[in-house]
Amino acid sequence: MYNKGTIIPGLVIFIVFVTFPLWYNGLNAGTVPKPDLPVGQKECVAPAAEMRDTHMKLLNEWRDAVLRDNDRVNIKVGGKEYRKGLQMACMQCHTDKEKFCDSCHTYAAVSPTCWDCHLTPAVAASKKETL
């Protein structure tokens, strides 16, 4: 092999550089957040494990169904009906965005676009008071 003296050290430096985040943190991603769950609620629109994994897909499906297909069929959870949507269903129980949504989204380093249009119940109430 030609240039063996530069290829081997180059590969070692490359491997160290690429794996640096793994061994620097000791393979520790930090403490997993424990979001505040709503008091008095026993059920969600789906099981907790499914909501953790696919809530973003569910919200996108609801958005598409409501806005594009005008499908506003209510969701029944534990005998109580909710309208499809982030504010009409989710935010009825999960009222504190900072303690519920933001704790996991910050940990996962994602910035959902939900909040570009939607308001939390507290912000919506404060806007109504100023009018």
Taking only the tens place, the pLDDT of each residue in 26-61 is 777 778 898 888 888 888 888 888 998 999 999 999
Domain residues of the chain, as ranges? 48-113
Name the phi and psi angles at 49, rounded to 5. -60, -40
Cα separation, 31 vs 118, in Å, equals 29
Q: What is the pLDDT of residue 10?
A: 92
Cα separation, 50 vs 72, in Å, equals 22
Q: What is the pLDDT of residue 131?
A: 64
Burial of 127 (0-12, 13-18, 19+ CB in 10 A): exposed
Q: What is the pLDDT of residue 54?
A: 92
- Distances 26 to 19, 44, 53, 87 between C-alpha atoms, Å: 11, 36, 26, 40
pTM (whole model) above 0.75: no
Provide the 3-class DSSP secondary structure of residue 104: helix
Structural contact between residues 66 and 72, judged by C-beta atoms closer than 8 angstroms: yes
Q: What is the residue type of 36?
A: D
Q: What is the pLDDT of residue 48?
A: 86
Q: What is the pLDDT of residue 114?
A: 87
The single-letter DSSP state of residue 36 is P
Residues of the chain with pLDDT under 70: 1, 131
